């Protein structure tokens, strides 16, 4: 038996389909949205539509931005000779929160996973190699400590080492199997400081 009418059920279903939102949270959000003033709901809806229409990849590092180049890549005070390679935008955000890293990033948008059919061609590896043609001194591999992250790290090391550019890996202060986005800033800072040559 359905508790609510069609529109409410549909809203709850759509919200529950979002990552990290369970049925109870979806129900709570749905009722909150229904009780919001119409102008605030319209502003929220328009913000979502505009973000979807205007957000794209930075042409340098492939993070999400609404400009051609993201604020980090456009910042002349950042060290553009050091590139930290991360799996996703959330990992970049986690490192930025530490305030300890002054280089730039490269977002792969995934990790190599033969079991899932994700090979090197499905992530932003060729774009990383193209960036190495510029004045780069170090590539810091900050992929997750999962099987896929380790596989990706080794692959990157094999690609970069022949160029003579230093390749380092973040230290294992990050627990095996842990996702960077959930790790506190102190642990991430220590992992960055204790990185090692690959």
pTM over 0.85: no
Q: pLDDT tens, 46-91?
A: 999 999 999 999 999 999 999 999 999 999 999 999 999 999 999 9
CATH code where residue 170 lies = 3.40.1360.10
Residues 88-100 have a mean pLDDT of 92
Position 6 confidence tier, pLDDT thresholds 50, 70, 90: confident
Shared domain for 91 and 25, answered yes or no, is no
Task: Report d(CA 48, CA 99) in Å as an integer.
Answer: 29
Shared domain for 48 and 68, answered yes or no, is no
Q: For 16-74, what is the HEC assignment? A: HCCCCCCHHHHHHHHHHHHHCCHHHHHHHHHHHHHHHHHCEECCCCCCEECCCCCHHHH
Q: Is residue 59 part of a domain?
A: no
CATH code where residue 11 lies = 1.10.8.420
Shared domain for 23 and 112, answered yes or no, is no
Shared domain for 147 and 188, answered yes or no, is yes
Q: Is residue 174 part of a domain?
A: yes
Q: pLDDT tens, 111-161?
A: 999 888 888 889 999 999 999 998 999 999 999 888 888 899 999 999 999
Shared domain for 81 and 172, answered yes or no, is yes
Shared domain for 34 and 113, answered yes or no, is no
Q: Is residue 186 part of a domain?
A: yes
Range of the domain at 131: 64-197
Coil, helix or strand for 157? helix
Shared domain for 129 and 192, answered yes or no, is yes
Task: Please state the φ and ψ torsions of residue 53, each to the nearest 5 degrees.
Answer: -75, -30
**Dihedral through CA 174, CA 175, CA 181, CA 187, nearest 10?**
-40
Shared domain for 139 and 117, answered yes or no, is yes
Shared domain for 188 and 129, answered yes or no, is yes
Q: Is residue 1 part of a domain?
A: no
């Amino acid at each position: 038996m359905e508790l609510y009418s069609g529109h409410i059920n549909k809203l709850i279903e759509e919200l529950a389909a979002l990552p990290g939102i369970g049925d109870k949270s979806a129900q709570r959000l749905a009722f909150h949205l229904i009780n919001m003033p119409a102008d605030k709901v319209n502003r929220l809806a328009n913000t979502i539509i505009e973000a979807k229409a205007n957000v794209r990849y930075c042409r340098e590092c492939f993070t999400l931005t609404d400009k051609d180049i993201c604020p980090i890549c456009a910042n002349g005070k950042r060290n553009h000779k050091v590139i930290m390679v991360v799996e996703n935008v959330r990992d970049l955000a986690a490192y930025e929160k530490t305030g300890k890293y002054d280089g730039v990033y490269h977002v792969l948008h995934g990790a190599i996973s033969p079991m899932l059919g994700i090979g090197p061609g499905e992530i932003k590896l060729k774009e990383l190699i193209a960036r190495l043609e510029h004045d780069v001194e170090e590539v810091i591999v900050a992929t997750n400590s999962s099987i896929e992250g380790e596989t990706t790290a080794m692959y990157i090391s094999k690609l970069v080492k022949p160029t003579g550019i230093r390749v380092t890996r973040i230290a294992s202060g990050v627990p095996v199997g842990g996702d960077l986005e959930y790790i506190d800033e102190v642990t991430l800072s220590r992992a960055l400081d204790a990185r090692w040559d690959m």
